[in-house]
Every structure is written in C-alpha cells, then in structure tokens.
Amino acid sequence: MITDNTNVVFLEGETMRKGFSIVELLVVALVVAILTTIGVINYRTAYRNTVENEGRSTIELITAAELAHRFETNSYITCTDLSDCNDKLNLELSPGDWDYAVADAGGGAATITGTYSKGHVNTCSRTLNADGTYTAITCTH
C-alpha cells in the first residue's frame, strides 16, 4: 500500500479519498435530528408543566384566602381579575401571564378560574363549596 497526503492507493490501482462517506454523514444527521426532536419535546413538556404549576399554586393561595374570609363571614368574595382579587382578599399576588377570577357558582359556592394568556390556551379551576370544602384543581390545555 502506498500513501501520500490526499489519497491512499490500494493494490490493483484503486484509490480512496480520505473523509466520510455520504451514508456516514446521513447517519450522523439522522442521529442529530432525533436527539433534537427529543430535546424539543422534553422542553415543551417541562414548559407546559411549569406554566400549569404556576396556575395551580396561585389558585391554592386564592383558595386559602377565600376560606379564611368564609370562616369570618360565611361567604366567598367574587373578583373579576387578579388586581380585584388582591384588593378584596388582601393578597399581594404579582401579575404575570395568568389572569384569575372568582365567580359566584350559586348556592353559596364559588369557582376560582385561572386563564393563561400566552401561547396555548390553558385554564385551571376549582370550585369552593358552600360548606367550606373544595374540589381538586383541574387544568385543561
């Protein structure tokens, strides 16, 4: 076998250039594409979970304030947006990408609803019952 700087010369006069074949490059590109897809899917899932957890946490805080108010007055406060809820429930929740409201659900009950305003539509809600119990927080995408 004879070699120089650019080619490797095999017996019988065949030559092969140094470098990668098209198949090897395609395999590498495919692996990179698959890993990128997995990464994007994981990022989106983590982002959606973070957004949902933010909504759930704030609804928990509003629930606690509503239950404290109900303990004192035997009724829930209704509010139309986060600023209104902060004022009426003596909260200091910072505004963000979610908007919250508490609506009268009839019969002494109330429904807390949080709506995410960016990207995908995401709504979380909880019903506060007249007897002071409440439902689990449900979220829809």
Q: Give the pLDDT of residue 117.
A: 84
The full set of domain ranges for the chain reads 5-140
How far apart (Å, rounded) are the C-alpha atoms in residues 60 and 3? Answer: 74
Whether this prediction's pTM lies above 0.95 is answered by: no
| The pLDDT of residue 29 | 95
User: Whose structure tokens read 């030559």?
Assistant: 15
Integer-rounded Cα Rg, in Å, for the chain is 30
The pLDDT score that the predictor gives to residue 133 is 95
Tens place of pLDDT for every residue, the chain, 141 residues? 555 555 555 556 566 667 889 999 999 999 999 999 999 999 998 988 888 999 999 999 999 999 999 999 999 999 999 999 999 999 999 888 899 999 999 899 999 999 998 867 689 999 999 999 999 999 987
